Homo-oligomer: A and B are copies of this chain.
Amino acid sequence: MRVSYDKLKSEVKRVLISRGFEAEGAEIGASIIADNSRDGVYSHGLNRFPVIVKFMDEGRIKLNRYPVKLNSAGALEQWDGKLGFGPTNASIAMDRAVELAGKYGIGCVALKNTNHWLRGGTYGLKAANVGCIGICMTNTFPNMPPWGGIEKRIGNNPFIIAIPQKNGEHVLLDMAQSQFSFGKLQTYSLDNKKLPIMGGYDKNGNITNDPDEILDDGEAIPTGYWKGSGLSIAIDMVVAALSVGKSTYDMRMNKDDVGISQVFIAINPTVYAGEDYADEYIENMSQYIKTSARKKGVADILYPGERAARERGENMKEGIPVNEKMWETLVKL
């Protein structure tokens, strides 16, 4: 079944308010959940929401806590997320980075003591929607071995770059540092399929493309092996150092993303580049990669975020596809 964006958002908002959220925070939170489903990222939209409500009911996500500024160095600010709701915190932090970019051309907000932001791309798109380039990064609790190791000692630390296009079909890279997410491994497992490439280690430390062996006490593999491992470590250092917050090492006893560190950068070149500055680049690049000779079986070559941009358009017109059971769960929450 499909439901309209507004209907999904207002149901989510109703539940957030029923849990004690103030209207303003509930509005931000509900928008983000609805946006993620709207963009086809169902795993980080409606489908994740019941778990979030459970965390709220258990007091693991603190309601009505908003980030506060601790320090400013001009275009760089340090904020404390007060262990509030991750998406609300991240949203406010990126809004502030955009504000700073309006004043200084570039703005950077480093946020400590925050929680899982659901889909990092959301905050990149927030910047892109107002004509800024958005760059976001977060650390996580240790969930992957560093290159050379076979124990979970680094995070999958998502890294986001968004570049605005005037028609709203923004370029959006939303890249965790594990080659496959837990959700993707599960999907392959349920479909009884092997991964298309090596995707992790079995419990004896052997590299494998069998999702079940990875899920059965095995380990994920970093994106590009040593490269994703290095990028994960560098991102962790940047977010912890700039926010003076927790590093992945500090979260070594965690099994969840609580009290994590994030960085939000917005860059606004329209002062000298004009408002349509990225449209031509995106159009040219898109045509250029699409007209490349393709590997067998490849129907189209997409730029990062192109699929999400398409689904966004379709889902706003046709309604957002929702799992019926999930919808029933939502209306009863």
Contact = CB atoms under 8 A, between A and B. Distances in A.
A327 interface: no
A298 interface: yes
Contacts of A83: none
A94 interface: no
Contacts of A247: 281, 284-285
A293 B105 contact: no
A75 B248 contact: no
Interface in A295-311: 295-296, 298, 300-304
Contacts of A175: 227, 230-231
A295 B148 contact: yes
Interface residues of A, number: 84
Contacts of A252: 288
Given A70-B272, A231-B173, A242-B269, A147 B248 contact: no
Secondary structure type dominating chain A contacts: mixed
Contact of A273 (B77, B151, B244): B244
A322 interface: no
A281 B230 CA distance: 15
A148 B271 contact: no
B104 A73 contact: yes
A1 interface: no
A230 to B, nearest CB: 4
A288 B249 contact: yes
Chain multiplicity (copies): 2
A87 B278 CA distance: 27
Nearest to A142: B288
A223 interface: yes
Given A76-B104, A105-B75, A248-B285, A163 B294 contact: no
Interface string A222-242: 011101101101111110111
Interface in A174-205: 175, 179, 197-198, 205
A64 B231 CA distance: 36
A234 B173 CA distance: 7
A302 B77 CA distance: 31
A84 interface: no
Contact of A272 (B145, B244, B304): B244
Given A74-B106, A249-B285, A250-B284, 20 more contacts: A71-B271, A73-B105, A73-B272, A74-B103, A75-B75, A106-B265, A108-B267, A110-B269, A133-B242, A145-B292, A149-B293, A163-B241, A179-B227, A205-B295, A205-B296, A223-B228, A224-B228, A230-B303, A237-B282, A244-B272
Q: Which 8 residue pairs across A and B have the least CB separation, nearest first?
A: A76-B105, A73-B105, A149-B292, A223-B224, A71-B272, A224-B224, A74-B104, A230-B304
